[in-house]
């Protein structure tokens, strides 16, 4: 039941991001010269590296889900033996990767503000910060969800099916924000 509710909620989130994409493409269509001028200021190699980190975090998240489905909450053996990692280790790594992504976005924002790209500076700045900012808020929400799942595993005396379901539901959300970012990345950084 929780999984179905999460999928329905994610569908509403998809509509939210669809509206942002529609606004982005509409403003881009009416101001192509502005878009050409402002996109030159984007640091595409840096954003590509940041995107790779976020996409790989989906892989580590799914490996954590596989461990949860096996009932393996913690690692077996050394921390260096990745094959023996459990839900906690994979979710901690996913959390770190997500936090690095958010840090990268903050760095990119600082560089763009220095270049004069701000929310009030132009419609491009407005749409850039709205789309990437709302995505960043969603990633931050996912990071909080990872902390919640990890906290539950440390507080519980034993790992239950309900905890595994919680991990799976958090993974749905994380994969969703990753897919949205891939679409945003190609829209903002690749298609010029």
d(CA 88, CA 149): 9
**In this structure, are residues 101 and 142 in contact, taking their beta carbons and an 8 Å threshold?**
no
Helix-then-strand count for the chain, H and E: 6, 0
pLDDT in tens, 77-99: 888 888 889 999 999 999 999 99
**In this structure, are residues 109 and 95 in contact, taking their beta carbons and an 8 Å threshold?**
no
d(CA 85, CA 61): 12
pLDDT for res 73: 87
Q: How many domains does the chain have?
A: 1
* Segments forming the whole domain that contains residue 93: 2-190
- Nearest residue to 133 via CA among 106, 160, 172: 106
Chain length of the chain: 192
pLDDT in tens, 96-147: 999 999 999 999 999 999 999 999 999 999 999 999 999 999 999 999 999 9
pLDDT in tens, 20-55: 999 999 999 999 899 889 999 999 999 999 999 999
CATH number of the domain that residue 147 is part of: 1.20.120.80
């Amino acid at each position: 039941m929780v999984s179905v509710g999460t999928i329905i909620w994610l569908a509403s989130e998809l509509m939210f991001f669809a509206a942002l994409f529609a606004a982005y493409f509409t403003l881009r269509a009416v101001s192509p010269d502005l878009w050409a001028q402002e996109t030159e200021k984007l640091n595409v190699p840096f954003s590509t590296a940041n995107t790779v980190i976020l996409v790989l975090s989906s892989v580590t998240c799914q490996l954590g889900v596989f461990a949860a489905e096996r009932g393996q909450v913690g690692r077996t053996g050394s921390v260096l033996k990745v094959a023996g990692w459990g839900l906690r280790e994979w979710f901690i790594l996913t959390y770190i990767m997500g936090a690095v992504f958010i840090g990268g976005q903050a760095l990119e924002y600082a560089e763009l503000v220095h270049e004069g790209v701000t929310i009030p500076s132009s419609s491009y700045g407005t749409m850039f910060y709205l789309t990437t900012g709302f995505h960043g808020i969603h990633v931050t929400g996912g990071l909080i969800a990872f902390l919640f799942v990890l906290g539950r595993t440390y507080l519980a005396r034993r790992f239950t099916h309900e905890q595994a379901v919680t991990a799976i539901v958090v993974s749905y959300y994380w994969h969703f924000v990753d897919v949205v970012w891939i679409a945003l990345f190609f829209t903002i950084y690749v298609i010029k």
